[in-house]
């Protein structure tokens, strides 16, 4: 076999948080990286808001984008629990899972975070192809031959599957795990930030399981309402704003000011809660999973993006540490990540299940506190 010339070549499939992050980190180490994304617009305008806790911010700082994130978001350090009429019952201080030098929590507009990561990928010099998927993967001990949806083909030392909850790559390499609905669904919408909203507040009870909001900037907030999941086919998209407003109008406090801005159905998102945790290993040969392709959970702990970003950080660290790219390395990646991810997935699902089951004496603060304390250690 001819001696290798040039850097190792990596294909990243999917341009969400984990795919973008691992691309930047591998390029920084001098690897040749191509990123493909199925959506032609790179999901640059998708979504309303996102809650990022300290351990997510720690990885964003590692990526070199923390200053842009900080300037674009709204940092806070507490969580309020209210009754449906808006009466504050309890305020808990958030644990600084990213260390004392980072905020405990930061809310920001999801499209803004995506654009920051897109800019970082572009600046890294990675090859980027939008509106492109991997149609066929053929691998051997040395690498993976990939045929793309545009009819071209190429050869890589490693393929990283960052193509999300319904990952086609995961299925293509024979991993049969599939996401499972938990029984809940969430309505999300952006709105102007009412004066006085300086943290996340959650109302439990009323016509929905949870009604909450998170500041995402000096002038913006994103609001969400959690209910039992419904057949999405029975909800016409043009009625999304009406459906969310119907639920939200039963809540007091800041909700009336927020609700009056929920008018455009195109700005309202409706999503089921799902659970996914691939067990045993997150790789098959030279194809390895990161982020939602390997694990996903309800956003009841706001840890989805954080765990995906941590995957990218740990995998990049291992790939650039001088070890052989073999089963032992990929299994080490899985074994380092699985205790942390399993803890988050199980706790996130449990918080929702207690509500579905109507458990009134559940130790919600205790479970949240134990889980977040566990996450303060570096991944």
Q: Which residue has the tokens 């996914």?
A: 276
pLDDT tens for each residue of 22-50: 999 999 999 999 999 999 999 999 889 99
Q: Are 153 and 146 in contact (CB under 8 A)?
A: yes
Please state, in angstroms and rounded to a whole number, the distance separating the CA atoms of residues 118 and 60.
Answer: 13
For residue 68, pLDDT over 70 is answered with yes
Q: Examine residue 95 and state whether it is found in any structural domain, yes or no.
A: no
Taking 60 as the threshold, does the pLDDT of residue 231 lie above it? Answer: yes
> Given this model, what pLDDT does residue 365 score?
85
Are both 65 and 148 inside the same structural domain? yes
Indicate the number of domains in the chain: 2
pLDDT for position 3: 45
For 286-311, how does the pLDDT look when each residue is reduced to its tens digit (9 = 90+)? 999 999 999 999 999 999 999 999 99
Domain-embedded: residue 247 = yes
- The answer to whether the CB of 311 falls within 8 A of the CB of 291 is yes
Burial (CB < 10 A; 0-12, 13-18, 19+), residue 2, is exposed
11-15, 90-94, 154-158: least confident range: 90-94
Q: Count Cα neighbours of 375 within 13 Å in the Cβ-side half-sphere.
A: 31
Note the Cα 59 to chain centre separation in Å: 13
Of the candidates 306, 324, 303, which has an alpha carbon nearest to the alpha carbon of residue 314?
306
Beta-bridge partner residues of 81? 90, 202
Residue 99 covered by a domain: no
Q: Which contacts (CB < 8 Å, 24+ apart) does range 256-260 have? A: 257/194, 258/191, 258/194, 258/213, 258/221, 258/223, 259/223
162 and 36 both lie in a single domain: yes
Clarify whether residues 152 and 255 are in a common domain. Answer: no
> Which domain covers residue 144, as residue numbers?
9-74+111-179+275-374
Counting beta carbons within 10 angstroms of the beta carbon of residue 366, is it exposed (0 to 12), middle (13 to 18) or buried (19 or more)? exposed
């Amino acid at each position: 076999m001819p001696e290798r010339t040039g850097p190792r070549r990596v294909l990243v499939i999917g341009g969400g948080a984990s795919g973008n992050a691992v691309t930047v980190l591998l390029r920084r180490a001098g690897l040749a990286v191509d990123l493909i994304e199925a959506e032609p617009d790179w999901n640059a305008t998708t979504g309303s808001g996102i809650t990022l806790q300290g351990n997510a911010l720690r990885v964003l700082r590692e990526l070199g984008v923390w200053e842009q994130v900080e300037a674009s978001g709204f940092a806070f350090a507490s969580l309020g629990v209210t009754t449906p009429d808006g009466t504050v019952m309890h305020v808990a201080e958030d644990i600084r899972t990213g260390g004392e030098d980072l905020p405990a929590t930061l809310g920001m507009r999801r499209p803004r975070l995506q654009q920051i990561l897109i800019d970082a990928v572009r600046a890294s010099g990675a090859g980027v192809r939008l509106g492109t998927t991997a149609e066929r993967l053929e691998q051997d001990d040395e690498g993976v031959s990939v045929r793309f949806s545009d009819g071209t083909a190429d050869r890589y030392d490693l393929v990283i599957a960052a193509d999300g909850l319904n990952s086609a790559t995961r299925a293509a390499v024979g991993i049969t795990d599939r996401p499972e609905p938990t029984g809940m669904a969430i309505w999300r919408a952006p709105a102007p930030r009412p004066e006085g909203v300086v943290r996340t507040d959650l109302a439990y009870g009323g016509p929905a399981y949870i009604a909450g909001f998170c500041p995402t900037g000096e002038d913006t907030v994103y609001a969400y309402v959690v209910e039992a999941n419904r057949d999405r086919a029975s909800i016409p998209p043009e009625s999304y704003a009406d459906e969310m407003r119907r639920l939200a109008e039963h809540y007091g406090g800041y909700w009336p000011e927020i609700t009056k801005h929920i008018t455009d159905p195109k700005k309202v998102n409706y999503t089921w809660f799902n659970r996914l945790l691939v067990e045993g290993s997150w790789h098959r040969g030279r194809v390895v999973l990161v982020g939602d392709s390997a694990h996903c959970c309800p956003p009841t702990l706001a840890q989805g993006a954080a765990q995906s970003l941590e995957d990218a950080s740990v995998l990049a660290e291992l790939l650039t540490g001088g070890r052989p790219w073999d089963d032992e390395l990929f299994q080490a990646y899985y074994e380092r990540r699985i205790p942390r991810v399993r803890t988050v997935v199980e706790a996130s699902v449990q918080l929702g299940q207690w509500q579905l089951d109507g458990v009134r004496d559940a130790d919600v603060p205790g479970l949240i506190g134990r889980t977040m304390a566990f996450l303060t250690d570096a991944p």
